[in-house]
């Protein structure tokens, strides 16, 4: 069972389990510690109480700051004060007193196995990252900028037919679409960047009024979307949350997801299927129009349409 609570509630929980449990297992969210710890992964922490757990440079600690909890690496330790920062963060978190440090991370779960952060090799890597924190933050910033520019260049050509033909020949995609299940939690978390949300609960809720679909390519989740009916008008269905892994766009994944969503909605009794798309997202607009959607000014009153969006409608009766 996943547990979501406030900082105060978590600290009370820690006090309750102190002396009763050696390790607490937590799920983290956010990208500030990528790639050492990734959003949605589970970590084991040991409580730091009354100085019984020593904190050293390189350790990843759980600490409170301004009524929030953070999981960052110690880059400097001086007496009872510590300086911490996220590996991907620019700048540090300021001085952290010992009493604000709640726990220390000792292991990370990844790919079905547990990574011991206290091992000699991982301690060596941790200390290196801490010592090189000032330099690495500029390297990370530079690499993100290069990655952003590279993806922007790829996005510009992904809708071209010549790109799609070449990509399909190289990648040889084997795409299948199915309904999401609770076992897809980790794959979907990586796709939708939903590190702090209970995806299993979301799948169960959506299943009551529609479908959360995922696309797989050779057994790996590479895309997904949601199609649901409106509570006040069961004949009106809406598609939202279409997402395809960036480097795999343009090879038909989005098209298969939309086609499957339309078929399932029509089978379930949909009268109309609608969606919103940003006016600048030309590839998405072409995808939906190819599937039979048309721009309309008549959209459900439950939604507020942004001036930057089109409302697209598909008549399920034709």
Supply the CATH number for residue 173's domain: 3.40.630.30
Do 123 and 168 share a domain, yes or no?
A: no
Residues 62 and 166 in one domain: no
> What pLDDT score does 51 carry?
47
190 beta partners: none
Burial of 267 (0-12, 13-18, 19+ CB in 10 A): exposed
Q: Is residue 240 part of a domain?
A: yes
Q: Is residue 149 part of a domain?
A: no
Q: What is the pLDDT of residue 6?
A: 61
Looking at residue 20, its pLDDT comes to 65
Q: Look at strands 95-97 and 81-85 and give their pairing.
A: antiparallel
Residue 40: what pLDDT?
A: 76
Does 299 map to a domain?
yes
Provide the token pair at 175: 């795409």
C-beta separation of 241 from 277 below 8 A: no
**Does residue 151 belong to any structural domain of this protein?**
no
Please state the domain count of the chain. Answer: 2
Give the pLDDT of residue 307: 87
Cα separation, 294 vs 274, whole angstroms: 9
- Measured between alpha carbons, how far is 153 from 139 in angstroms, rounded to an integer? 21
Domain end (from 78, 103, 136) = 136
Give the helix ranges, DSSP H, for 89-160: 120-131, 133-157
Q: CA angle, 282 as apex, 280 and 285 as ends, to 5°?
A: 110
What pLDDT score was predicted for residue 212? 94
Cβ contacts of 236 within 8 Å, gap of 6 or more: 229, 230, 270, 271, 272, 274, 300
Indicate if the alpha-carbon torsion angle 36, 129, 56, 117 is positive or negative: positive
Tokens of residue 70, six digits: 């953070």
pTM of the model: 0.62
The pLDDT, as a whole number, for residue 3 is 47
Range of the structural domain that residue 170 is part of: 158-315
Strand 236-244 and strand 175-179: the pairing is unpaired
CA distances 111 to 25, 40, 62, 190, Å, are 16, 12, 23, 12
167 and 91 together in one domain:
no
Task: Please say whether the dihedral angle defined by the alpha carbons of residues 159, 222, 271 and 199, taken in this order, is positive or negative.
Answer: negative
CATH code assigned at 77 = 2.10.109.10
Task: Confirm whether 152 is domain-assigned.
Answer: no
42 by Cβ neighbours in 10 Å (0-12 / 13-18 / 19+) ranks as: middle
Quick one: how many helices (H) and strands (E) in the chain? Answer: 8, 15
Domain membership of residue 144 (yes or no) is no
145 found inside a domain: no
Residues 221 and 275 grouped into a single domain: yes
Q: For position 2, what pLDDT does the model report?
A: 44
List, run by run, the mean pLDDT of 10-residue segments along the chain (318 residues). Answer: 57 68 80 83 82 78 85 88 88 86 90 88 90 82 80 79 86 90 79 64 86 92 93 91 88 94 95 93 90 88 82 85
């Amino acid at each position: 069972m996943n547990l979501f609570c406030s900082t105060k509630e978590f600290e009370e929980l820690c006090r309750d389990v102190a002396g009763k449990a050696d390790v607490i297992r937590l799920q983290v969210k956010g990208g500030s510690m990528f790639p050492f710890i990734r959003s949605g992964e589970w970590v084991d922490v040991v409580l730091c109480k009354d100085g019984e757990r020593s904190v050293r440079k390189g350790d990843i600690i759980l600490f409170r700051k301004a009524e929030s909890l953070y999981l960052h690496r110690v880059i400097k330790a001086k007496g009872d004060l510590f300086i911490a920062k996220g590996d991907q963060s620019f700048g540090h978190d300021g001085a952290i007193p010992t009493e604000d440090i709640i726990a220390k991370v000792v292991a990370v779960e990844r790919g079905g196995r547990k990574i011991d952060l206290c091992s000699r090799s991982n301690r060596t890597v941790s200390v290196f990252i801490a010592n090189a924190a000032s330099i690495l933050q500029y390297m990370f910033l530079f690499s993100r900028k290069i990655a952003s520019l590279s993806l922007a260049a790829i996005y510009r050509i992904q809708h071209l037919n010549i790109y799609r033909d070449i990509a399909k020949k190289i990648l040889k995609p084997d795409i299948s679409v199915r309904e999401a299940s609770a076992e897809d939690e980790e794959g979907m978390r990586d796709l939708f960047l939903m590190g702090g949300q209970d995806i299993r609960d979301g799948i169960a809720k959506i299943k009551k009024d529609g479908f959360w679909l995922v696309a797989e390519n050779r057994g790996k989740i590479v895309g997904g979307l949601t199609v649901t009916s409106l509570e006040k008008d069961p004949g009106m269905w809406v598609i939202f949350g279409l997402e395809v892994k960036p480097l795999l766009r343009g090879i038909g994944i989005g098209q298969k997801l939309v086609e499957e969503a339309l078929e399932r909605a029509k089978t379930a009794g949909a009268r109309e299927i609608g969606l919103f798309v940003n006016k600048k997202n030309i590839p998405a607009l072409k995808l939906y129009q190819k599937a039979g959607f048309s721009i309309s000014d008549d959209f459900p009153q439950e939604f507020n349409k942004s001036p930057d969006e089109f409302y697209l409608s598909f008549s399920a009766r034709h």
